[in-house]
Amino acid sequence: MRKIKFGTVILDYFIAVVFILCFVRIDYLYEGMKMSGFLTALSLGAFVLAALLVIVSLIRKKSITVDIIWLIVFAGSLFLITLILRGNIYQFFATNSGVLGLCLLAYYYISNDKLNVFLDAFIVLEALVYINLLTTFLFPKGMYSTSLYTANWLLGYKNPQIRFILPVLGVSFIRGLEKRDRIGLSSLALFACAALTMLKVNSTTGILAVAFFGILSLVFLFFFSKRPRWFNLRNICIVFLALNIGLLFLNIQTNFDVLFESLGKNTTLTGRTEIWKISIIEISRHLIIGHGFLTGNDYVEIYNLLAAAHPHNYLLYILMQGGIVYLAIIAGAFLYSGSTLRKKPVSSGTVVLIVIASLFFIGLNEALTGNNFLYMFVILGMNADKFKAGETPKRLFKHRRIKITLR
């Protein structure tokens, strides 16, 4: 009996690790090794298998949950819009198979009371974060070049790396809280690795994002005895929307020219403001349902700029694809996830909020393309009632007292 149980546990871990590796994007394999066709097929196949696992699970339970209904509406709406507007259906599935796959995988393990298995499987991604840092030392000028960038490492060009590293760091924090009710040294070491990586590749976006994540973690996981009621997903979304209005329509960045100069940037945010202007014009032409799924080449054609393969802003990226309809569907998911997180204010849920807030921070000047993790955290938030960590952060940083005696 024990052997069967042990074998089942091993199989659960194996399946989780294999699926996760299929759903994430390791840029060196896609771009450097030129394996994009094979890896895309692998991701699509894994997505189909994950969907079948969830369907079988739903049939057994004879019920369907809100998170699955939302995933169907979320994916289905953009698929239909893309189909109606005769967009690239293959690229739609190729790009979104990882996003949807991770959401399905998270749901499957959570709904079967195996959250820790899902969290443990992310250790393999932590290993990739450390290996990526090693490549920045072994290849200071980059491992390979692409048509756009000359310096790329295991996880790609300098700025997109943080979209991979930061969610993995968040999962590491959650795993420590769920299993030991504290953030362990392994998580702190991973945070240090993230910071060092961003410094090594000289990514301003990454450095600021790691600092933002670190500050929020210190404030809400250490200084506050409990999560303040005002730190919730609804307020995070409101602040994100307000900042977008300020950047996109009021040009508030022009008031901080000294700050931008100190960071080696200008108030056009390396030409992003011009891309935003064009995006707003395009959105106004297709305000209700957007343009459907757009490939990088589609964006290059719209902006007439080789380096502009996306709108460089998460809100504009949503509106460009699916308009107000798609935005409303995504906003609904954030609000529902936020309500569940508010009902059970445990420390693991606080980490979910911190990760989403940090990704929103990045999304002010990045479209979060290639980030397969954001909606996975939304699903985790929807299932916050399954978290087992305590509410009080006092137990997060445990240290054994060492007694020194003189003889």
| pLDDT tens digit sequence for 195-208 | 999 999 999 999 99
User: Which range has the worst mean pLDDT, 39-43, 62-66, 95-99?
Assistant: 62-66
Which residue type occupies 330?
I
Whether residue 402 is contained in a domain is answered as no
Determine the pLDDT at residue 265. Answer: 64
Which distant-in-sequence residues (6+ apart) come within 8 Å of 7 by Cβ? none
Mean predicted confidence (pLDDT) in 311-335: 96
Taking 70 as the threshold, does the pLDDT of residue 396 lie above it?
no
Question: Residues for the chain: how many in total?
Answer: 407
| pLDDT tens digit sequence for 237-254 | 999 999 999 999 988 877
Mean predicted confidence (pLDDT) in 270-290: 91
How would residue 3 be classed by pLDDT, with cut points 50, 70 and 90? Answer: very low
Determine the pLDDT at residue 345. Answer: 86
Which residue in the block uniquely carries the two structure tokens 């899902």?
Answer: 118
Whether residue 67 is contained in a domain is answered as yes
Helices within 157-293 (DSSP H only): 161-180, 185-201, 204-218, 233-248, 257-262, 272-285
Query: Percent of the chain beyond pLDDT 70?
Result: 90
Mean predicted confidence (pLDDT) in 310-329: 95
Residue 350 · residue 222 · CB < 8 Å: no
Whether residue 46 is contained in a domain is answered as yes
The residue range of the domain holding 21 is 2-395
Which distant-in-sequence residues (6+ apart) come within 8 Å of 76 by Cβ? none
Q: Residue 401 CB: number of other CB atoms within 10 A?
A: 4
State both tokens at 25. 């994007």
Q: Which stretch of DSSP H or E encloses residue 49? A: helix 36-61
Mean predicted confidence (pLDDT) in 257-283: 76
Taking 90 as the threshold, does the pLDDT of residue 66 lie above it?
yes
Determine the pLDDT at residue 306. Answer: 74
Give the mean pLDDT of the chain. 89
Determine the pLDDT at residue 260. Answer: 61
Whether residue 217 is contained in a domain is answered as yes
Whether residue 77 is contained in a domain is answered as yes
How would residue 392 be classed by pLDDT, with cut points 50, 70 and 90? Answer: low
Mean predicted confidence (pLDDT) in 349-377: 93
pTM of the model: 0.92
Q: At what angle do helices 89-111 and 36-61 cross, to 10 degrees?
A: 40
Query: Percent of the chain beyond pLDDT 90?
Result: 74
| pLDDT tens digit sequence for 139-188 | 999 999 988 888 999 999 999 999 999 999 999 999 999 988 888 899 99
Whether residue 295 is contained in a domain is answered as yes
Mean predicted confidence (pLDDT) in 112-127: 96
* Burial label, 324 (beta-carbon count in 10 A; 0-12, 13-18, 19+): middle
Taking 50 as the threshold, does the pLDDT of residue 405 lie above it?
no
Domains held by the chain: number? 1
Mean predicted confidence (pLDDT) in 35-63: 95
The span from the CA of 346 to the CA of 226, in Å, is 8
The span from the CA of 265 to the CA of 247, in Å, is 15
Taking 60 as the threshold, does the pLDDT of residue 130 lie above it?
yes
User: Which range has the worst mean pLDDT, 2-6, 192-196, 380-384?
Assistant: 2-6
Whether residue 406 is contained in a domain is answered as no
Determine the pLDDT at residue 338. Answer: 96
The span from the CA of 358 to the CA of 216, in Å, is 9
Whether residue 211 is contained in a domain is answered as yes
How would residue 308 be classed by pLDDT, with cut points 50, 70 and 90? Answer: confident
Looking at per-residue confidence, does 39 or 391 come out higher? 39
Looking at per-residue confidence, does 226 or 311 come out higher? 311
Residue 175 · residue 119 · CB < 8 Å: yes
Mean predicted confidence (pLDDT) in 349-365: 96
Determine the pLDDT at residue 262. Answer: 64
